Amino acid sequence: MIVNPEIERYIESLLPERDDVLREMEEYAAQHKVPIIGPAVATMLAGLVRLTGARRIFELGSAIGYSTIWLARAAGEGAEVHYSDGSSGNAERARGYFRRAGVEERITIHVGDALGALARVEGEFDFVFNDVDKEGYPAVLEAAPGRLKVGGLFLTDNTLWHSRVLEPRQEEDFGVVEFNRKIFSRQDLDVWMSPLRDGVTVARRRY
């Protein structure tokens, strides 16, 4: 654990109760070992969307759509949110959740390579959330920030990667380490990292 587990439980105890759809997704993810960001990080994402007024959002690596729902609800009616995942099964399950959560009309679903989907969608985004396979993080860093408007936010989950950044051994570990080193060295981004859950890095495009 990155943060004392008792502190993690304390943070979660303070969060508002989730609705039936989100609770069901949390239970499904726990039972089937599907990685989701969890309610604490989701609350942070939603708060930043509301704070910045983000309306055009791209999510790289969306799994069953848990974070997508939080983003779409925070962005509000008429927003444009892009879901992307390599699994058609995940995408089909996510579509059902979107319908039940009342946000289906705000979300465009892309199945396949997330960066390929990003490249096919034209224009700038207010907010990009990165949660792809960790070995792909350096490639995301090359592609995603340039698609943001000036002042837009680029968020990345798992940037402490279960503490494996301290002693990287596998390709995915080195992907996160390289991402962290490179993003903090960029002059076009204001960057900070929160140790919440498994580490969340927030970057704002300066120019």
Q: How confident is the model at residue 146 (pLDDT cuts 50, 70, 90)?
A: very high
Answer for the pair 144, 182: CB distance below 8 angstroms, yes or no. Answer: no
- What is the rounded distance in angstroms from the CA atom of residue 45 to the CA atom of residue 71? 7
Q: Residue 148 above 90 pLDDT?
A: yes
Q: What is the CATH number of domain 5-205?
A: 3.40.50.150
- What is the rounded distance in angstroms from the CA atom of residue 188 to the CA atom of residue 206? 5
Residue 118's contacts (CB-CB under 8 Å, 6 or more residues apart) are: 58, 60, 82, 84, 143, 144, 147
Residue 21 has a pLDDT of 98
| The residue to which tokens 């960066």 are assigned | 115
pLDDT, the chain, mean? 97
Q: How confident is the model at residue 187 (pLDDT cuts 50, 70, 90)?
A: very high
- What is the rounded distance in angstroms from the CA atom of residue 65 to the CA atom of residue 34? 11
Residue 3 has a pLDDT of 85
Q: What is the mean pLDDT of residues 140-151?
A: 98
Among 2-6, 79-83, 145-149, 175-179, where is mean pLDDT lowest? 2-6
pTM for the full predicted model: 0.96
Q: How confident is the model at residue 2 (pLDDT cuts 50, 70, 90)?
A: confident
Which candidate, 152, 154, 132, 144, places its Cα nearest to that of 207?
152
Q: What is the mean pLDDT of residues 75-90?
A: 98
Q: What is the mean pLDDT of residues 41-49?
A: 98
Q: How confident is the model at residue 29 (pLDDT cuts 50, 70, 90)?
A: very high
CA atoms within 13 A on the CB side of 28: 15
Measured at the CA of 146, the angle between CA 143 and CA 147, to 5 degrees, comes to 90
